[in-house]
Structure 1
Amino acid sequence: MFKKSIIWATLAVSLFHSAMVSAQDYKTENVILITLDGMRWQEVFTGADSLLVDDTGMIETPGSLLPDFWDVNPLKRREMLFPFLWNTIAKEGQIYGNRAFGNKVNNQNTMWFSYPGYNEFLSGFADDKRITSNDKMNNPNKTMLEYLNEMPEYNGKVLAFGSWDVFPYIVNEERSGIPVNAGFDIAKGDDLSPEELLTNKMQSEIRGPWGGVRLDVFTQNYAMAALKNQKPKVTYISYGETDDWAHENHYDQYIWSAKQTDAYIKEIWDFVQSDPQYKDKTTLIIGTDHGRGTTKTSWTGHGSSIHNAGEIWLAAIGPDTPALGEVKSDGQLQSAMVARTVFKLLGLEYPDEKAAPVIKEMVK
């Protein structure tokens, strides 16, 4: 019995040491997750859509988008639309989902609209039995954000920001204790920065066209202020304009918002690379909650009735993510794989066995 105890103790120490070494191999100490609501993979990989960009009745002045977004070469078009994605992440990180090369990313859920998509992205699995609408229902599933916030090292250092006012329920702010600034929430506290005070004032005076979704500029400003002043270890940011402009059949506003969001992501990454806490210790993962239709009549919508609306994309950049650029090999990923991948980058095991596997290529 004594010998067995020594053997088991030695094995336990060995396993613990192996786990610690494995965790120390990764440089990632912070993670920033970003989603662009309903952003199609078609624009990500080929730029402005020739079916929609001109002579469609969806732009205020026919031809007005051409100087800023049009070139006969789709590789140039996509750089015009997403300059940071293609000039930085494509060189230093990874981009998945160009189906022209057989590289596929899909929703695991079969709903193909927002709440199921965000639950999947954040929780690591689809829940088609319980997440069946966009209603303001507290998420019965724990997200990776909540699991991290329960750990002493991350407790109080996990924040979420979203343009859509359903995010406090998706993250389950009530149960998780994670502060969620979403919809028309303002920054609160006694020591607000000048940027937060100004954003509070501007948001109260500038109303967007939608009742439950604020303009993304406010989400960006609140998130940037938090990164600078609160220094969270894990941050989730969701931009919403692309989906709402698409629903309203405004292709011009859809792609203008996409380009502006690309600029927001650049602003975040530029700050990350200038700050001692974040520089060379932060992984950025970007995705979307769902795709949308591919024709002049279906592009405005999504959901299970819209063909191909479950086709999406992913991108990542960070110290532990090899610079593969645009991945052109045959493959099949799901947004559900992000949660376990984040934990792997942080040297942790994901606590929910239902979660999809790690995206191996994102973790060297």
Structure 2
Amino acid sequence: MKKIFTYLILSLAVFSCSNNDKDETVKVEDKYQTKNVVLLVVDGPRISETWEAPDKGNIPNRVSLLSQGVFISNFKNNGTTNTNPGHSAMCSGVYENIKNNGTELPGYPSVMQQWLKSTGADKTKAWVIASKDKLEVLNDCKLADWKGKFQPSVDCGVSGNGSGYRDDLVTMTKTKDVMQKYSPNIIVINLKDVDSYGHANNWNEYIKAIKTTDASIKELWDYIQSLPAYRDKTTLIVSNDHGRHIDAKGGFAEHGDDCTGCRHIEFFAMGPDFKKNTIINTGDYEQIDIASTIAELLRIPMQFGKGKVIKDAFK
């Protein structure tokens, strides 16, 4: 009788531990509803022409979409305020002063590479789609044991080693084609027209490009919600690689220094795990935090990133 009683106690203990382990696994798996992340980088607007413009008149779609998302009003690029370093910081979580012409790889693996290694997924499940061909370097890094491995798919500009740019309309079409055909879980998109017209010192076309890009953000969000593979399980993050000079530092035509116009950038996000109708103006969130936040949402370790998870934006 004593042996039977002891056996029952041990059996109950094992059953209890097994259930606890199972419950813990469920909690980890259910922590976030996000299964896919799309990072859309609007290349080079000043915050003074977007979220801080009078009546926010250049971004009516984002203003409307804020009811579904969260905006951080004091988000910064604290690294080099140029295109390739800015994109690299968002993807790797490390600030580096890499060359801006597409001839230098980032030093550390991107969140895309780390996700591909962690999941063992096919390269068609992670993409870099950019209007600037020089951003093709985002699919690799210099670090030993990572270089040439776990590389996401790319569709960047046209051939030309830094000179083969294409219109954002083409990039948007390519993005939708890739989403329809491959259903990637992680996509990084670059739209360059705002930056191009800024460098051309064409104020009217620069503002027009900001408005067009704003419409593209809504178009992309609506497309995400139209696809069963993405609807209600996808996070869209909108940010910038850099801003532009304030007028006292030379004006909107250029960028690249540490003035407030170059450093102050956008963070706007929508998705099943983010707050809604929320503006955050506290904290010290910055560009390198994007990679850590994507890794958190996709449940992978961020081995080399220096940023933090933007938890204040989460529900």
Question: Normalising by the residue count of structure 1, what TM-score does the alignment of the two structures yield?
Answer: 0.73
Deviations 1:31-50 (A, max 9, x none): 11100111111112233xxx
1:1-364 matched pairs, under 5 angstroms: 18=24, 20-47=26-53, 74-75=54-55, 78=56, 80-88=57-65, 90-97=66-73, 104-109=74-79, 111-128=80-97, 131-152=98-119, 154-156=121-123, 157-172=125-140, 174-184=148-158, 211-295=163-247, 297-304=250-257, 306=259, 308-327=261-280, 329-352=281-304, 354-364=305-315
Q: Quote the offset at 1:294 in angstroms.
A: 1.6
In 2, Cα distance between equivalents of 1:217 and 1:285:
19
Is there any run of 5+ residues in structure 1 with no aligned partner, and where? 1-9, 48-73, 98-103, 186-209
What do the CA deviations read for 1:217-272 (whole angstroms, capped 9, x no partner)?
11111011111122111111110111111011011111111111112221111111
Task: Letter of the 2:39 partner, please give it.
Answer: L
Aligned residues: 291
Bigger CA drift: 265-274 or 241-250? 265-274
| Separation of aligned partners in 2, 1:342 and 1:170 | 16
Provide the rounded CA distance (Å) in 2 between the counterparts of 1:11 and 1:254. Answer: 61
* DSSP-derived class of the 1:236 partner: strand
Greater alpha carbon shift after TM alignment, 274-283 vs 170-179: 170-179
Amino acid at match of 1:180: V
CA positional deviation for 1:276: 1.3
> How far apart in 2 are the matches of 1:326 and 1:307?
20
Per-residue CA deviations over 1:295-344 (Å, capped at 9, x if unaligned) read 173221111265541221210000000114333x3332101101111121
Indicate the residue corresponding to 2:3 in structure 1: none
The residue identity in structure 2 corresponding to 1:93 is G
What's the CA shift for 1:22? 2.6
Inter-CA distance 15–361: structure 2 relative to 1 (3 Å threshold) = farther
Stretches of structure 2 lacking an aligned partner (at least 5 in a row) = 1-15, 142-147
- Over 3 Å counting, the alpha-carbon distance change for 1:45 and 1:151 in structure 2 is same
* 2:226 alignment partner, SS class: coil
RMSD: 2.5
> Given that residues 61 and 215 in structure 2 are in contact (C-alpha distance below 8 angstroms), is that contact kept between their aligned partners in structure 1?
yes
Equivalents in 2 of 1:305, 1:341: separation in Å? Answer: 24
SS at match of 1:85: helix
- The letter of the residue matching 2:184 is P
Alpha carbons of structure 1 residues 336 and 11: separation in structure 2 relative to 1, 3 Å: farther
Contact 1:23/1:346 (8 A) holds in 2 = no
Counterpart residue type for residue 86 of structure 2: G
Is the contact between residue 108 and residue 125 of structure 1 (CA under 8 Å) also seen in structure 2? no
Going from structure 1 to structure 2, the CA distance change for 1:347 and 1:305 (only over 3 Å counts) comes to closer
User: 1:23·1:348 contact (CA, 8 Å) conserved in 2?
Assistant: no
Q: What secondary structure, in the 3-state scheme, does the structure 1 residue paired with 2:284 have?
A: strand
Give the secondary-structure state (helix, strand or coil) at the position aligned to 2:211.
helix
* Structure-2 change in CA distance of 1:92 and 1:305 (3 Å): closer
* SS of match in other structure, 2:155: strand
